[in-house]
Amino acid sequence: MASRGDSTARPVPYDVGVTHQRSSGILLHPTSLPGPYGIGDLGPAAVAWLDWLAASGCRSWQTLPLGPTGYGDSPYACFSAFAGNPYLISPDLLAADGLVDAPPPPSLPDDRVDYGAVIPWKLALLDEAFERFRTGAPAGLSEEHAAFRERHRGWLEDYALFMAIKADQGGGPWWDWPDPLRTARPDALAGEAARLGIEVERQMFRQFLFFRQWAGIREAAAARGISIIGDIPIFVAPDSVDVWSRPDLFHLDDDRRMTVVAGVPPDYFSDTGQLWGNPLYDWEAHAAEGYAWWVERIRHTIGMVDVVRIDHFRGFVDYWEIPSGAPTAVEGRWVEGPGRAVFDAIEEALGALPIIAEDLGELHPGVPALRDELGLPGMKILQFAFDGDPDNPFLPEHYPENCIVYTGTHDNDTTLGWYRTVALPERIRARKAVGAWGQAASIPWEMIGAAWRSRAGLAIAPLQDVLGLGTAARMNTPATASGNWRWRCAEGALTPRLAARLRRLNERTGRA
């Protein structure tokens, strides 16, 4: 390999199979799957979804991050960059394993996730499974559990202790814990580990269940020829085990408070920018240890999925640094990131990997330059194409083959909702570009057709667009703190007829 910083080095071929074979996929987070338990999970409905996806001729399923969510329920703000979300654990599979009796469905809505109601119900069920496991584990599970703990001990023990202390402290963020715990003093942690031993075990067991069930989904997807595209946010949540256990890797003061936070400047989503509030990496500290934390994060993630999408890829080139305590993101400044060095370390340790670069927003010229130097596919959003600029890079005629086109993402309104709210000139341009002259309800499928016909190697649509749904089905509205991540697919919506329609489109466009 050429030395790091050698701008003449050949591009690292990270894009292994992502866009080399013309194909298509659907964006759907597991929480949005149908089912009787108030939230989508990794049980029978997930396998039925994979059956439907295979019947449609699509070959990729893209999810959002799969980590344990906290306040706000955002999968982009998790308690750990390595752990799985216990709310996705299937009650049906717990019953099949003999860990619980078949649970009656709770009285919860089936068109949206009511997190305030479903979380205590699910955790009570997981506690029941834990007690049964402790008092008499079904045959074989004890050995599997022990092997899991050994395989994942590099992150699992810190995570389980962090969550046990958090529960004992009433759920508050780690920076409000008593000083010996806030600063992770070894003698204090040893005492808490002994005192909270059962709760630590409980947290580890929940992770065992999640990863065991997720492995079943991976097997089912592979058997159907479907690749799973995972998603990792470039930044971690402030209230996470990652920051608490490794404060040296972030910009914190001597009291372990954030000095600067992440976000983006004003853009097409918000006039005041987006104040994410994530801690920013001390890249010099990461470089000093060969970017080992990032190598392990990617190693772990690629062990869970087939392709990794890195959210906010531009942060490796430069990132928006906002003073901690600022009321909005307007007061920030651009700071140079580590660039290619991170990816060289990943490639040296793990080899060439299938990675997608989320390269949206107002970009520094260095962002597409790094993306192309690494050979990574970027993203094109069809909803952004119709501002009247003939050079707009989101117009399909400007796509390279090595890219992924989306009708929209989790941060966009649904295509039907978008169409109904944009200005008339933009609507007219969109209709003309995609050949849609019927009713507004036809727009989602016309946009899907335009994406599928494009040169992009991979075309993806959110399931909401395939179902032709409006704004009520939107997954997330950036710069809003509540009411997001709730949408669920209706029972019976994934019909054979709809799969056949999508298969015909895949066949006509050479993506089947």
Residue tagged active-site, from 158, 192, 358, 413: 358
**Structure-token match 């990997």, residue found:** 353
Query: Does the active-site annotation cover 411?
Result: yes
Query: Does the active-site annotation cover 465?
Result: no
Backbone φ and ψ of 288, nearest 5°: -60, -25
Q: Specify the 3-state DSSP secondary structure of 154.
A: helix
Residue tagged active-site, from 411, 413, 446, 465: 411
Q: For residue 382, how far is the Cα from the chain centroid? A: 21
Among candidate residues 305, 379, 366, 316, the one with its CA nearest the CA of residue 344: 316
Residue 360 and residue 367 in contact, taking contact as beta carbons nearer than 8 Å: no
Q: Which residues have a Cβ under 8 Å from the Cβ of 135 and sit 6 or more positions away?
A: none
Residue tagged active-site, from 15, 73, 242, 311: 311
Termini Cα distance of the chain: 37
Helix (H) or strand (E) holding 246: none
Strands 378-381 and 318-323: unpaired
Backbone φ and ψ of 267, nearest 5°: -150, -165
| Crossing angle of helices 44-55 and 496-508, rounded to 10° | 40
CA atoms within 13 A of residue 413's CA, in its CB half-sphere: 16
Strands 227-233 and 307-311: parallel
Query: Does the active-site annotation cover 192?
Result: no
Residues tagged active-site: 311, 358, 411
